[in-house]
Amino acid sequence: MVEFLIGLGLPGWVAWSIAALVAAVLLLNVIAGGALVFIWAERKIAARIQDRLGPTRTGGRFGWLQSLADGIKLLAKEDLMPEGADGLLFRLAPYVSFCASFCAFIALPFAFDVVGQRLNVGVFFVVAVLGLEVFGVILAGYASASKWSLFGAMREAAQVVSYEVPLGMCVVVPVMLAGTMDLVTIGEKQAGWMSSWFLFHDPFTFIIFWVYVTCAVASVNRAPFDLAEAESELVAGFHTEYSGLRWSFFFMAEYGSMFLVSGLAAVLFLGGWNGPVPVARLLGFSDGTGESAAYVVRLLGLANLMGKATLGVLFMMWIRWTLPRLRIDQVMTTCLKYCTPIAAVMFAGAMFWQLFLPGGLFPGWGRPAGEIREGWLEGPGGLPAAASPAEDRSSTVTGGEPFERTGLATRSPR
Amino acid sequence: MMGLVLAPAMVASLATCLATVPLFAVNPFTEPVGVVHYLFVGAVLFTAGIACMTLKRNALGILMGIELVLNGANINFVAFASPYLRAEGAPTLGLDGQVVALFVILLAAAEAAVALAITLNFYNNHATVDVDRADDLKG
Amino acid sequence: MTGMLDMDFIDFMDFSTLTHVVPPLATTLAALPALPIAGINWHSVLFLLFAGLACGFAIGVVAADNVVRMALYLVFSLGATAGLFFLAGAEFLGAMQLMIYVGGTLVLLVFGVMLTAQAPLVSIKPSSSDRTLTAVAGASLLSLLLTAAFSVDAWRGPGVGVVPAPSATPLGMALVGVRVDEPPAGTPVGGRVGYMLPFEIVSVHLLVVLVGAAYLARAKRRRTPRPIDALASAMPVEPVSTAATVAPTGRSAGGARSALVGGGR
């Protein structure tokens, strides 16, 4: 895209800012549009599980305009702030939450090289930024000047800090298998048939995937771990005092991070943008066959990843409306007594599997021939090779501008 | 008396402002940043941390001052380690600077955990976090 | 400057909507190198943004009296510092800062703030003489540091500015004791070491801290802390008679201490 704009005769900095804006707007649309769809889906699923119909009238037969109507209602609502609240923090909290959720999307790839900013430490960045969302909740809880909110915030703080430990351990396993923290490379390593997904790499990865699911549900505060907003005990927890647009920002942040952890699960364990069957490759498309073919492949990958992430979100909804809420001590027990040790053992197991039986449980028939490796392995004498993929990546543009890696830059065919 | 104390500080601040003039003589939006830009930020953070440590009476405020000081130091390490802030081919700390900064972050986490535990214990025993009240050992 | 930015923004909108006018407009724009905006360097702009945030919120930490506000400003300041790390090409360090510092340490700190945030303790105001003294000391320190920073010519020049893709791999390899990174120019080849031993020491240190913090936090529930309790829990199991003789003295000592503390309040 940047090359295209520069080719039009635009100076580099305009091209870069347009590319960055397009990426930002696209991501914002993914979050906002996703929240609309998911809220509708949540209402329908909850209704079906509870043997009801859910919204049926707004916007036709299935009530699919219900969340839009909700949004208009929220916009029109009076904006209340309790007396004795800390005004600045109270107003700031929803935006902190939303920004953290949004920023984490920057490094999440949606298809091969369709990523806001390809980071060498992508996994790490996503998990780290996701952990910042807790600040919005804590601030909201403190600034509301309400006991319920403060309780919710304290629970959230304790829970999120605890669950980051097993979550980190789960995330490290695919990183270890792929040999890099770059999410694009991790996804690309699982190309081929379904058997080359990291989920089916060995028994340990299969188990640790479910640990990841548990920790991810806990870290985005969904039931059965939604202690921060336990409505049967704490009215509405940290957002008791919120109304209108600010409340909806919390909601968007929640659905955004749900989609994010599902997308991360898809990239790390479920093959990313590679479908169960390599349709594109069987049909003869590949990155090398030309520009339009590459776009088709990427669109397919986009659909794949979106589908997987949506499935993950629906799974979370299913869990929410099926399981009862845990108590706070049970939440902590789940984390410290079960998730952490299981994750540690599985991590060690995956490590030994990789050491003694490299290559996975199923023979990866359909794995791409040339593996993507980090440059340092191939260089002579332990020194990095001269033309490592990392440098190859950055040399697609020679505009002399500092941010040569920004944007949804199309990659030159390898 | 106060004027006597303040006068050198004023002179020093003035000198500082003069020293930063070269930083703004060029257009800051077009000039690539260098090490000294990072050092400036590091110095501000370090000073803010020291001021925080001396000024605050809340034990947690003092802890925050320590975090700021450590971060100011970290910024300097990263700045000296980065080859992109130096002129072409100038020697840098390289990876060593980053590794040291990494260790600083880790040890800061450990330090914060212990300091917080001590503060909470102090709070439970004395029902305050005001460090001026921690004078039980005074003879 | 602001006006120029605004005008430019309008041009910018035109670019994205009307494709056929782009080339002439672009050539016009490219022919204006005299305008400071034409050669804008996004790296520098982002640096200024993050640096401003980091410095401003750091000063905010000092200036604020409310401890919760202080914690919030500290979060923003350290988050902006992570941005500075990213800009300097230290991606792993930036993510580490976000994860461990901002996401771990500061959450812990905020947790502590909320546990102790009773109304009289939220803002403990320092006296005005303390403020003056701090301002003097701070100004002197800042001037000293800045003079030192600006006194070296080699540090003052602009940098290369272009940031190629960094990799976390050399850092990880250095931590397990193998150096695979390019040696910086002018370094003797044999002089570089791995960081295996420090890495291990830090990990053991973290383990000790974990246990120690858990121990300190565990003993906090008693209203009147008795030294004997800590002693008894640390001691191995002993015959009943010894414990019985020790316990009464311990209790009396504890009682005396609690009276002392109560008087102190």
In tens, the pLDDT along A81-104 reads 777 777 788 888 888 888 888 888
Structural domain for A135, as ranges: 77-367
Whole-number pLDDT of residue B69 = 93
Per-residue model confidence as pLDDT tens digits over A216-228? 888 888 778 877 7
Sequence letter at residue C37 = I
Q: pLDDT class for C17, splitting at 50, 70, 90?
A: very low
Q: Could you tell me which residues are beta bridge partners of residue A406? A: A117
Say whether A403 and C161 touch across the interface (CB within 8 A).
no
Shortest Cα distance, chain A CAs vs residue C210, angstroms: 13
Between positions 112 and 171 of A, the ones with CB within 8 A of C are 119-121, 124-125, 127-129, 131-132, 134-135, 138-139, 142, 150, 153-154, 157-158, 160-161, 164
Nearest CA-CA partner of C50 in C115, C122, C98, C100:
C98
Size of interface A-C (CB pairs under 8 A): 152
Test B56 with C112 for CB contact under 8 angstroms. Answer: no
Asked whether the beta carbons of B51 and B31 are under 8 A apart, the reply is: no
Q: Quick check: is A49 in a domain?
A: no
**Residue A142 with chain C: CB contacts under 8 Å:** 68, 114, 117
As a whole number of angstroms, the distance between CA C56 and CA C90 comes to: 23
CB neighbour list of residue A219: distance below 8 Å, 6 or more residues apart: A130, A131, A160, A163, A164, A167, A261
For A250-269, letters b (16+ CB in 10 Å) and e give bbbbbbbbbbbbbbbbbbbb
Q: Quick check: A315 pLDDT over 50?
A: yes
Q: Tell whether A91 is covered by a domain.
A: yes
Q: Can you tell me the distance from the alpha carbon of C218 to that of C229, in angstroms, rounded to the nearest whole number? A: 12
Up-side HSE of residue C145: CA atoms within 13 Å toward CB?
24
Contact yes or no for C174 and B129 at CB 8 A: no
Please, which residues bridge with residue A117 across strands?
A: A406
Q: Count of residues for chain A?
A: 414
CA atoms within 13 A on the CB side of A271: 23
What's the confidence (pLDDT) of residue A285?
62
Please state the three-class secondary structure of A114-183 as a single string.
ECCECCCCHHHHHHHHHHCHHHHHHHHHHHCCCHHHHHHHHHHHHHHHHHHHHHHHHHHHHHHHHCCCCH
Whether the CB-CB separation of A414 and A297 falls below 8 Å is answered with no
CA distance B138 to chain C (A): 12
> Which residue of chain C has the CA closest to A154?
C111
How do the domains of chain C map onto residue ranges? 41-118, 198-235+242-256
| All partners of chain B with 3 or more CB pairs under 8 angstroms | C
Q: Is-contact A56 A63, C-beta < 8 A? A: yes
> Is B36 in contact with C155 (Cβ distance < 8 A)?
yes
* Domain annotation covers residue A10: no
Ordered alpha helix ranges (H), chain C: 2-17, 22-30, 42-63, 67-87, 91-96, 106-116, 119-122, 128-150, 169-175, 196-218, 227-234, 240-264
User: What was the pLDDT predicted at C163?
Assistant: 59
Closest by CA to A79, choosing from A60, A94, A69, is A94
CB spacing of B12 vs C144 below 8 angstroms:
yes
Query: Which other chains touch chain A, taking contact as 3+ CB pairs less than 8 Å apart?
Result: C
What residue has token string 């033309």? A387
* Range with the poorest average pLDDT among A105-114, A254-263, A319-328: A105-114
First to last CA, chain B: 32
Residue C64 gets the label, from left (phi > 0), alpha (psi -120 to 50) or beta, of: beta
Phi, psi of C188 (to 5 degrees): -65, 135
- B28: confidence class by pLDDT, cuts 50, 70, 90: low
Q: Are B42 and B72 in contact (CB under 8 A)?
A: yes
Q: How confident is the model at residue C11 (pLDDT cuts 50, 70, 90)?
A: very low
Q: A368-391 burial by CB neighbour count: b if 16+ within 10 A, else e?
A: eeeebebbbeeeeeeebbeebbbe
Q: Bigger pLDDT: A120 or B27?
A: A120
| Residue A46 included in any domain | no
Q: What is the structure's pLDDT at B70? A: 92
| Chain C residue with Cα closest to B23 | C156
Residue A282 belongs to a domain: yes
Helices A147-178, A122-131: inter-axial angle, 10-degree rounding = 170
How is domain B33-130 classified at the CATH fold level?
Answer: Helix Hairpins (1.10.287)
pLDDT at A391: 38
CA dihedral B24, B26, B31, B36 (to 10 degrees): -40
**What ipTM was estimated for this complex?**
0.79
Burial class (CB in 10 A: 0-12, 13-18, 19+), A308: buried
**Distance from the first to the final alpha carbon of chain A:** 18
- The residue ranking higher by pLDDT, C28 or A408, is C28
CATH class of C41-118: mainly alpha
> What does the buried/exposed string (b/e) look like for C166-196 if buried means 16 or more CB atoms within 10 Å of the residue's CB?
bbbbbbebbbeeebbbeebeeeeeeeeebbe
Mutate to test the interface with A, among C13, C35, C72 (most CBs of A within 10 A): C72
For residue A214, give the amino acid letter: T
Query: What are the tokens at A62?
Result: 């299935």
Q: Which residue did the predictor score with more confidence, C106 or B125?
A: C106
Alpha-carbon span A309 to A260, nearest angstrom: 8
Model pLDDT for residues C25-68, shown as the tens digit of each residue: 444 444 444 444 556 667 777 888 888 889 999 988 888 888 88
Contacts 24+ apart (CB under 8 A), C226-230: C226/C250, C226/C251, C226/C253, C226/C254, C226/C257, C227/C253, C227/C254, C227/C257, C228/C253, C228/C254, C229/C254
A11 with C42: Cβ contact below 8 A: no
**B110–C195 CB contact, under 8 Å:** no
What is the total count of domains within chain A? 1
Q: Closest chain B residue to C103 measured between Cα atoms?
A: B109
Which residues of chain A are within 8 Å of residue C9 when distances are taken between CB atoms?
none
Quick one: closest CA in C to B97, which residue? C90
Q: Is residue A244 domain-resident?
A: yes
The answer as to whether A238 is a domain residue is yes
Query: What's the rounded Cα separation, in Å, for the pair A301 and A279?
Result: 10
Q: What residue type is assigned to position A302 of the chain?
A: L
Summarised one tens digit per residue, pLDDT across range B55-110 is 888 888 888 999 999 999 999 988 888 777 776 666 677 778 888 888 999 888 88
Higher per-residue pLDDT: C190 or C36: C190
Segment 180-219 of chain C within 8 Å of chain A by CB: 180-182
Average pLDDT over residues C143-170: 72
In a domain, A374, yes or no: no
* pLDDT of residue A179 exceeding 80: no
Task: Tell me how far apart the alpha carbons of residues B102 and B92 are, in angstroms, rounded to a whole number.
Answer: 17
Beta-carbon separation of A16 and C42 below 8 A: yes
Residue of B nearest to C215 (CA): B117
The CA–CA distances, whole Å, from C187 to B34, B89, B99 equal 21, 12, 17
For residue A342, CA distances in Å to A345, C189, C212 come to: 5, 44, 24
Question: What's residue A240's pLDDT?
Answer: 75
Q: Cα(B121)–Cα(C214) distance, rounded to whole angstroms?
A: 12
Contact, A228 vs A137, CB < 8 A? yes
Structure tokens at A84: 């004795």
Identity of the residue numbered C29: L
What is the Rg, in whole angstroms, of the alpha carbon atoms belonging to chain C?
Answer: 29
* Mean pLDDT on A166-172: 88
* A230 closest CA partner among A329, A326, A94, A332: A326
pLDDT of C162 over the 70 cut: no
